[in-house]
């Protein structure tokens, strides 16, 4: 009994009683209404800092097994969550709901959105499942986090409006395009990203908008992937992309030139920080088209483009141009940073005089023709060689003809040539 009475004076007794006092204090601070009220200012400050906007905590309650939290920004955008928590296993489960009804505050989207779902897990693995209405469409999503770092991402998109999405990216767009599809990617936490992206864009109305000029700051793969110190951490990627567009014009802000026509394409990007390779195939303009881009050290070094048996009118349409010819068009390009080769041929071609006159200011009678032009490109100049045969004339180009001279000879020969039938 004496030892028990003197226990509080021993070193072990002092440590035990201090620890017990801390537990009681934490219990009173964390799990009682009084303690909850004391924590609200701290939660308010943390949320305001994290979301970079003033936050008001509407409700907060925490017990040993349950929690409940509702907060709003100054515009009334609201987040609510409630569920269970285990401090012994550091695991939780909860239901959440987010309503962004006004643009501003923590809502960066001009269109109202709502999303709700559930989350569960602990530090090692955490899952988020949800659905929502956003950008006039619907989404279903699933996220997996490992130690609170994104590991896997699965999203199903249904009729997401493209124009407000472009507005988020600060690009103008005047279209009723909606996007549907699936995005399934994994391995973010291991920096070994794999998966598949399937997207379909349906368009009934598209009006071209002025191409936005980007800033002079160069954007490269390296600048996108580098950390704050300019270093690129090792990674590996193997992602497949399937894309179907009713109107290619929706991409013109990204490529910097007007586009049009329907495009279906499949592509893969594979490799690591030392060497990436992009392979793509398409039936654009009813052709058999392939594209290969080599990207060593995150710097594109070569492009091989092969367009076979394309419809000439649909090919011009792809670049939002009225086609002055009909026929079967093929093109091949093999380019690198210092030189390249380009070959273009038209088989069973014929001109469209009305288009030549109206859009290209060339007066020329109807004719049938075959043509082939080869270009050798270097960093200093371009040399052409080729042949043009028609029922109005014939022209051959030798390998010293410059670009300007080739165009001059072509336009000079076609209208004035004598018929050869």
pLDDT tens, position by position, 78-103: 999 998 887 777 788 999 999 999 98
Phi, psi of 135 (to 5 degrees): 50, 45
> What is the model's pLDDT at position 219?
62
**Which residues, at least 6 apart from 48, have a Cβ–Cβ distance to it below 8 Å?**
54, 55
Return d(Cα 72, Cα 70) in angstroms, integer.
7
pLDDT at 306: 95
Strand 302-311 vs strand 288-296: parallel, antiparallel, or unpaired?
Answer: antiparallel
pLDDT of residue 129: 94
Using CA atoms, how far apart are residues 165 and 138, in angstroms rounded to an integer?
Answer: 14
Residue 40 scores a pLDDT above 80:
yes
Q: Does the pLDDT at position 202 exceed 60?
A: yes
Look at residue 411 and tell me whether its pLDDT is greater than 50: yes
Mean pLDDT on 193-212? 94
Name the more confident of 120 and 392. 120
Q: What is the pLDDT of residue 277?
A: 96
Best-predicted range by mean pLDDT among 25-39, 293-307, 360-374?
293-307
C-beta of residue 208 within 8 angstroms of C-beta of residue 320: yes
Mean pLDDT of 139-146: 93
Residue 191: its pLDDT value, please?
A: 92
pTM beyond 0.85: no
Query: In the predicted model, what is the mean pLDDT of residues 328-344?
Result: 91
What is the reported pLDDT for 159? 96
- Point out the least confidently predicted range of 9-13, 230-234, 250-254: 9-13
Residue 338 has pLDDT above 70, yes or no: yes
Q: What is the mean pLDDT of the chain?
A: 84
Rounded to 10 degrees, the C-alpha dihedral 106/110/113/119 comes to: -30
Residue 193 has pLDDT above 90, yes or no: yes
Label each residue of the chain as H, E or C. CHHHHCHHHCHHHHHHHHHHHHHHHHHHHHCCHHHHHHHHHHHHHHHHHHHCCCEEEEEEEECCCEEEEEEEECCCCEEEEEEEEECCCCEEEEEEEEEECCCECCECCCCCEEEEEEEEEECCCEEEEEEEEECCEEEEEEEEEECCEEEEEEEEEEEEEHHHHHHHCCCCCEECCEEEEEEEEECCCCCEEEEEEEEEEECCCEECCCCCCCCCCCCCHHHHHCCCCCCCCCCEEEEEEEEEECCHHHHHHHHCCCCCCCEEEEEEEEEECCEEEEEEEECHHHCEEEEEEEEECCCCCEEEEEEEEEEHHHHHHHCCCCCCEEEEEEEEEEEECCEEEEEEEEEEEEECHHHHHHHHCCCCCCCEEEEEEEEEEECCCEEEEEEEEECCCEEEEEEEECHHHHHHHHHHHHHHCCCCC
pLDDT higher than threshold 60 for residue 5: no
Q: Which of 2-6, 11-15, 227-231, 417-421 has the lowest mean pLDDT?
A: 417-421
CA distance 28 to 194: 48
For residue 9, is pLDDT > 70?
Answer: no
Q: If you average pLDDT over residues 327-345, what whole number do you get?
A: 91
pLDDT of residue 36: 83
- pLDDT at 12 exceeding the cut of 90: no
Least confident among 182-186, 296-300, 303-307, 376-380? 376-380
């Amino acid at each position: 009994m004496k030892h028990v009475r003197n226990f509080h004076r021993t070193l072990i007794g002092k440590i035990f009683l201090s620890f017990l006092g801390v537990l009681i204090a934490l219990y009173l601070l964390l799990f009682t209404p009084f303690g909850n009220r004391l924590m609200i200012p701290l939660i308010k400050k943390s949320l305001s800092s994290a979301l970079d906007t003033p936050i008001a905590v509407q409700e907060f309650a925490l017990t040993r097994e349950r929690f409940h939290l509702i907060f709003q920004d100054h515009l009334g955008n609201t987040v609510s969550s409630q569920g269970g928590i285990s401090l012994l296993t550091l695991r939780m489960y909860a239901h959440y709901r987010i309503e962004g009804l006004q643009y501003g505050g923590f809502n960066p989207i001009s269109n109202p959105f709502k999303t709700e779902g559930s989350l569960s897990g602990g530090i090692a693995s955490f899952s988020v499942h949800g659905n929502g209405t956003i950008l006039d469409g619907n989404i279903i999503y699933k996220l997996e986090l490992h130690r609170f770092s994104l590991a896997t991402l699965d999203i199903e998109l249904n009729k997401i409006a493209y124009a407000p999405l472009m507005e988020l990216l600060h690009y103008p767009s005047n279209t009723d395009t909606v996007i549907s599809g699936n995005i399934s990617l994994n391995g973010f936490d291991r920096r070994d990203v794999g998966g598949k992206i399937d997207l379909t864009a349906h368009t009934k109305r598209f009006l071209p908008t002025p191409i936005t000029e980007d800033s002079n700051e160069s954007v490269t793969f390296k600048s996108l992937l580098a950390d704050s110190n300019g270093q690129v951490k090792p990674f590996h990627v193997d992602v497949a992309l399937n894309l179907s567009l009713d109107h290619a014009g929706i991409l013109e802000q990204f490529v910097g030139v007007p586009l049009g026509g329907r495009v279906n394409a499949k592509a893969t990007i594979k490799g690591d920080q030392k060497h990436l390779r992009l392979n793509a195939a398409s039936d654009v303009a009813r052709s058999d088209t392939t594209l290969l881009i080599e990207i060593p050290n995150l710097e594109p070094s070569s492009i091989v483009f092969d367009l076979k048996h394309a419809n000439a009118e649909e090919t011009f349409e792809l670049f939002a141009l009225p086609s002055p010819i009909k026929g079967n068009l093929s093109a091949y390009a093999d380019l690198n940073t210092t030189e390249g080769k380009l070959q273009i041929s038209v088989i069973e071609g014929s001109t469209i005089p009305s288009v030549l006159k109206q859009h290209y200011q060339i007066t020329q009678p109807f004719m049938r023709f075959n043509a082939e032009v080869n270009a050798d490109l270097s960093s200093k100049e371009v040399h052409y060689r080729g042949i043009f045969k028609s029922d109005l004339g014939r022209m051959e180009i030798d390998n010293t003809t410059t670009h300007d001279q080739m165009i001059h000879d072509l336009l000079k020969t076609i209208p004035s040539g004598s018929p050869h039938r």
